[in-house]
């Protein structure tokens, strides 16, 4: 019988992941497996592969790989890991600490009167605005409404920052149609000013402290949700005086809503759901 690996499919606002408990796994090429397992035609299909590992610095370590195999940081995945860890008995508390490539993050599960998990709040660290930390090859700091020349006829006003991963946020009058979205977004992702590529959040302010966005994630393409991107969009809205830091900011995407709280100088907090879809086994030798 071919060797196989157990996995759980999970999602947060439609941002879906293959979650694997790798604490006792033999050496695996997780990057190569991410490419294989995340393929929506020949694999399981997901926006990313998440591996749980042991660490001395937190309750557990989360490693996330994009569908192209590149390692990254993921806010929706962070909530999924928190729920998975508690429900699987890996962690026996509703307030836990998870290691990521961007540092240790705190997660707190919220339950209803029946004890069911209804949402999860995660700390996302402080946003980084220094060009070297984003990273972005510009001298401007903070990078607010930078005119990014994408094509000879298309210039986007970009607010760029890192929320553990590189984000470019652009505020527009209406969300782009498919032609514009799929033409412009990958050009921004791979723009020479972003040496490590960037995710692009197209945002519309639809009401006070309410944003609607369409998401292009580096290494993944269009996704229904992006936790780090929702945080970046909310921070950008505060920086541009489009939203107030004195109240929660609602960020809507195709997959649902996330609630983001941020005051300048403080850490970002994000609250949203995390859902289990199904369990299965994936053959490692096919």
203 classed as catalytic: no
74 classed as catalytic: yes
Name the active-site residue from 74, 80, 203, 231. 74
**Closest-CA residue to 240 (of 267, 201, 214):** 201
Residue 109 to residue 263: CA distance in whole angstroms: 22
SS3 content of the chain, % helix, strand, coil (to 5): 15, 40, 40
Residue 233 burial (CB count, 10 A): 31
Residue 190 burial (CB count, 10 A): 11
**Closest-CA residue to 270 (of 255, 284, 260, 262):** 260
- Quote the crossing angle between the two packed helices 75-87 and 227-239, to the nearest 10°: 130
Name the active-site residue from 38, 80, 203, 226. 226
Cross-strand bridge partners of residue 106: 97
Catalytic sites, residue numbers: 74, 226
């Amino acid at each position: 019988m071919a060797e196989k690996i157990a996995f759980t499919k999970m999602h947060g606002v439609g941002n879906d992941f293959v979650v694997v408990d790798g604490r006792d796994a033999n050496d695996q090429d997780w990057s190569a497996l991410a490419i294989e397992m995340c393929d929506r035609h020949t694999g399981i299909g997901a926006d990313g592969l998440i591996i749980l590992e042991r660490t001395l610095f937190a309750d557990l370590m989360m490693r996330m790989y994009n569908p192209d195999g590149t390692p990254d940081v993921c806010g929706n995945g962070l909530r999924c890991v928190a729920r998975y860890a508690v429900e699987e008995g890996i962690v026996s508390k509703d307030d836990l600490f998870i290691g990521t490539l961007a540092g240790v993050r705190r997660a707190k599960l919220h339950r209803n009167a029946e004890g069911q998990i209804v949402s999860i709040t995660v700390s996302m660290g402080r946003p980084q605005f220094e060009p070297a930390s984003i990273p972005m090859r510009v001298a401007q700091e903070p990078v607010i409404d930078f005119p990014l020349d994408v094509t000879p006829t298309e210039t986007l006003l970009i607010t760029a920052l890192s929320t553990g991963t590189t984000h470019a946020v652009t505020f527009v009058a209406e969300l782009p149609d498919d032609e514009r979205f799929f033409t412009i977004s990958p050009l921004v992702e791979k723009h020479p000013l972003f040496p490590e590529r960037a995710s692009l959040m197209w945002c519309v302010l639809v009401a006070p402290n309410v944003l609607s966005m369409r998401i292009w994630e580096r290494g993944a393409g269009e996704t229904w949700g992006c936790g780090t991107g929702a945080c970046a969009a909310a921070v950008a809205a505060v920086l541009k005086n489009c939203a107030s830091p004195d109240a929660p900011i609602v960020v809507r995407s195709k997959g649902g809503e996330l609630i983001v709280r941020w005051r300048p100088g403080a850490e970002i907090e994000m609250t949203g759901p995390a859902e289990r879809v199904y369990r299965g086994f994936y053959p490692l030798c096919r």
